[in-house]
A = this chain, B = another copy of it.
Amino acid sequence: MTEFQAVAGQAGIIEVAMFGAGRIGTIHAGNVARHPRARLRYVVDVHAPSATALAARHGAQTASVDAALADPAVGAVVIGSSTDTHADLIQRAAAAGKAIFCEKPVDLDVERARACAAAVKQAGVTCMIGFQRRFDPTFAALKQRLEAGEIGQAEMLVITSRDPSPPPASYIAHSGGVFKDMLIHDFDIFRWILGGEAVSLHATGGCPNLPEVAAAGDVSHTAVTLRTRDGALCQINTSRRAAYGYDQRFEVLGSKGLLQAGNVRPTEVVAWGEQAISSDKPEAFFLERYRAAYALEIEHFFDALTHGTPVRTTIEDGIKALELAELATRSWREGKALDCAI
């Protein structure tokens, strides 16, 4: 029996339990509902009104975690609840034999994330981690052209990753630090694009003009450098605040050229005025910028289940990115370049 036969009902439709009815859960639930091979059966959230509202929108029911996982009709779970619940839900869903889609990160603690991976492996279920950027049409097209050899061999990657404005200090204090909270995506991009693991890493940071971030024990601006076994280099620069919006770009220098992935604008209006020629700022934030990516990753998850093909972003990818985030945190704290025994 294939995994699909195991998780899909007789009609070939996978019944889904959605954990989390917040901002990202709402996005995922909508995308699940649109997939021809998936059906939203349960919405689970500690905040009952949110669960009820989201379930109603898609003709689903609310349920407890226990009930949802105990229902043999449920073939897959989508985990979009708070970070501290991810590991527990992954382990329980794996034990229950459900296919799993989980938002990043697996957990803030690397050991615990590894335990999840072990549980997933033992259960033999699919577990996809929500590194949605790999599904962004621009990023994915770049990757495809890179693999097609358009610029020869990748030699240097420069990633710019900036949020429009910092989260509240209370959030920062429990975020696991900027490297795990924000750069984990960039570490995944590094691994995905350069296709090799890091042999050395250096991270530094600062809080120019954002003393509240420093007060929370974190940095608002970071600069990370990685080197791969092949001598390819990667520089990541990030900021918790970009007055002009959400800035998500990267570029790869290859032996035969350069590929850039730029921001996406809401419209293509250009205004020529007395002072300057101006175009739209980038899409406002991740929900807008990665709207298509969120839809495509859920589509990919159910397509992979349907066809028995591997998922693009595995739990191992989630752990590798987390390990880099942990190393970066240490590099920044100790002020040292580190060798990576990854």
How long is the Cα–Cα vector from A160 to B253 in the complex, in angstroms?
11
A155 & B239 in contact (Cβ 8 Å cutoff): yes
Interface 9-mer from A18-26, A70-78, A97-105, A273-281: A273-281
Q: Which B residue sits closest to A233, measured CB to CB?
A: B223
How long is the Cα–Cα vector from A277 to B266 in the complex, in angstroms?
12
Q: Which residues of B contact A280 (CB under 8 A)?
A: 276-277
Copy number of this protein in the oligomer? Answer: 4
Distance in Å: Cβ of A13 to nearest Cβ of chain B: 14
A202 & B158 in contact (Cβ 8 Å cutoff): no
How long is the Cα–Cα vector from A278 to B254 in the complex, in angstroms?
16
Is A167 among interface residues, defined by CB-CB distance under 8 A?
A: no
Given contacts A137-B267, A241-B255, contact A155 B208 (CB under 8 A): yes
Distance in Å: Cβ of A269 to nearest Cβ of chain B: 5
Is A90 among interface residues, defined by CB-CB distance under 8 A?
A: no
A225 & B204 in contact (Cβ 8 Å cutoff): yes
A281 & B271 in contact (Cβ 8 Å cutoff): no
Distance in Å: Cβ of A138 to nearest Cβ of chain B: 4
A257 & B276 in contact (Cβ 8 Å cutoff): no
Q: Which residues of B contact A258 (CB under 8 A)?
A: 242-244, 247, 271-272
Is A145 among interface residues, defined by CB-CB distance under 8 A?
A: yes
Is A205 among interface residues, defined by CB-CB distance under 8 A?
A: yes
How long is the Cα–Cα vector from A152 to B263 in the complex, in angstroms?
23
A206 & B231 in contact (Cβ 8 Å cutoff): yes
How long is the Cα–Cα vector from A150 to B272 in the complex, in angstroms?
10
Q: Which residues of B contact A150 (CB under 8 A)?
A: 271, 273
Fill in one digit per residue for A246-272: 1 if any B CB lies within 8 Å of its CB, else 0. 010000011111111111101111111
Given contacts A242-B258, A258-B244, A278-B278, contact A138 B267 (CB under 8 A): yes
Q: Which residues of B contact A138 (CB under 8 A)?
A: 267-269
How long is the Cα–Cα vector from A78 to B241 in the complex, in angstroms?
46
Given contacts A225-B225, A269-B142, contact A244 B277 (CB under 8 A): yes
Given contacts A160-B158, A244-B272, A335-B337, contact A204 B208 (CB under 8 A): no
B337 & A243 in contact (Cβ 8 Å cutoff): no
Is A216 among interface residues, defined by CB-CB distance under 8 A?
A: no
Q: Which residues of B contact A207 (CB under 8 A)?
A: 231
Q: Which of A200-240 contact B (CB under 8 A)?
A: 200, 202, 204-209, 221-223, 225, 227, 230-235, 237, 239
Is A41 among interface residues, defined by CB-CB distance under 8 A?
A: no
Q: Please list 21 pairs of residues, one from A and one from B, whose beta carbons are closer than 8 Å in the complex, sorted by A's number.
A: A137-B267, A150-B273, A151-B273, A155-B209, A155-B221, A209-B255, A225-B235, A242-B253, A243-B254, A243-B255, A244-B257, A244-B272, A244-B277, A247-B258, A256-B274, A257-B271, A259-B269, A259-B272, A263-B268, A272-B281, A277-B281
16 additional A-B residue pairs with CB within 8 Å, beyond A156-B223, A223-B235, A259-B269 = A137-B266, A141-B269, A155-B206, A155-B221, A158-B158, A200-B204, A200-B335, A202-B204, A205-B233, A225-B235, A242-B253, A256-B274, A257-B271, A258-B271, A263-B268, A337-B337
Q: Which 6 pairs of residues, A with B, have the shortest CB-CB distance? A: A206-B231, A276-B278, A278-B278, A244-B272, A258-B272, A262-B268
